[in-house]
Copies of this chain bind each other. A is one copy, B any other.
Amino acid sequence: MNSKKIAKLAGVSRSTVSRVINNYSNVTEETRKKVQAIIDKYGYTPDAAGRSLAGKKNKVIGLFIVDHYLKKDRYVIHDSPYLSEFISYATDIADDQDYHILVSVVTQREKYEKIRTLINSKMISGAIFVGGGAKKDELEKIINLGHKIVLIDEPLEKKYENVLHLLSENFEGGYMATEELIKNGHKKIAHITGELEKFDALERLRGYKKALEDNNIKLKNKYIAYGDFTMESGYLAIEELYEQNKNDMPTAIFVANDFMAIKVIEFLENKGFRIPEDISIIGFDNSNFTHFLAGGLTTISRSIEQLVNQSITNLINFLEKDEKKFAIDKKVKVKLIKRNTVKSITD
């Protein structure tokens, strides 16, 4: 079924059918009804390709998951609670605004081609990049295509008018976490980092350092261990931290995400430490599963819901308002969630 046939059946021209489909005002109520009846009867829906070719925008947003630092044997999305959650929210929130999400994954340099194709081919009207692991040069090539794009936690030297730079408060969160430990009287505070190729890991580390500095606590390199956000890496990191500091253990640890924090707690409890009596732990992300931990993990919550909401709402606005440029760099707030793994050292 196509508009030509509908036109014939309704006894009008294709133009009139188009006008009805697009709800244009210059159609008499009578004609509209007549045409609509036929449309309904035959369940006609216009062909997306045809419309697109004729210059109409579609309601599809590309969600590009970019991460080059992945282990080969892992699923990109499924094995990342952050990305899973991101996609889930994105679909839900886009749906509220009658948009669709088209998801695509990029883990190697060759795959940027795929994104360019998708964007150039006009299958999507706008794009969101998430994952924090993009190659800057490839990213800039794509940006220079001029399409409307949201970048999440993906900092660039230059600003672009067609790009919304959205950042979550990773630095602030790292600072907040460390400060909370300091407020509780801790001075020997360790940090287990995330994957340092990623901006968010770097920023959390920077926040940790700054909080120590502002409180006149000397940074000790032996109190920093390096993870990559996975549970296994958390285990390895705490193991190393323990081996290096057996005789001078920190009284508190800020772990760069909750996943690693789980393993840290497990390891320490196995070694006979009580949490939080002997060692306080604070995580990051406020991941779902922290609900299931007896007691509950003290952590920094960054609202992925808010992050997604900002991305999609801003992008859709931008797409539909037909504005020339994004006026904004936005930050999404984090906050401290006090639960039961931090204890005052003077208690």
Contact = CB atoms under 8 A, between A and B. Distances in A.
Interface in A293-321: 293-294, 305
Contacts of A89: 75, 77-78
A198 B84 CA distance: 24
A111 to B, nearest CB: 9
A120 B60 CA distance: 16
B102 A102 contact: yes
Contact of A103 (B65, B91, B293): B91
A46 B113 CA distance: 12
B84 A292 contact: no
A239 interface: no
**Size class of the contact patch on chain A:** 35 or more
A288 interface: yes
Nearest to A87: B87
A145 to B, nearest CB: 8
A116 B105 CA distance: 27
A88 to B, nearest CB: 4
A75 B48 contact: no
Contacts of A49: 48-53, 121-123
A337 interface: no
A60 B78 CA distance: 20
A221 interface: no
A60 B91 contact: no
Interface string A79-94: 0000111011101100
A45 B120 contact: yes
A104 interface: yes
A45 B116 contact: yes
Contact of A77 (B44, B50, B92, B122): B92
A293 B289 CA distance: 10
Interface in A10-60: 43-53, 58, 60
A43 to B, nearest CB: 7
Contact of A88 (B47, B53, B77, B289): B77
A117 interface: yes
Contacts of A50: 49, 53
A289 B43 CA distance: 44
A118 interface: yes
A104 B76 CA distance: 21
A100 interface: yes
A262 interface: yes
A149 interface: no
Interface of A: 43-53, 58, 60, 65, 75-78, 83-85, 87-89, 91-92, 95, 98, 100-105, 114, 116-118, 120-123, 141, 145, 262, 288-289, 292-294, 305
21 contacts: A43-B116, A47-B120, A47-B122, A49-B50, A49-B53, A49-B123, A50-B53, A51-B121, A75-B88, A76-B95, A77-B88, A77-B89, A78-B88, A78-B305, A84-B87, A84-B88, A91-B103, A91-B104, A98-B114, A100-B103, A101-B103
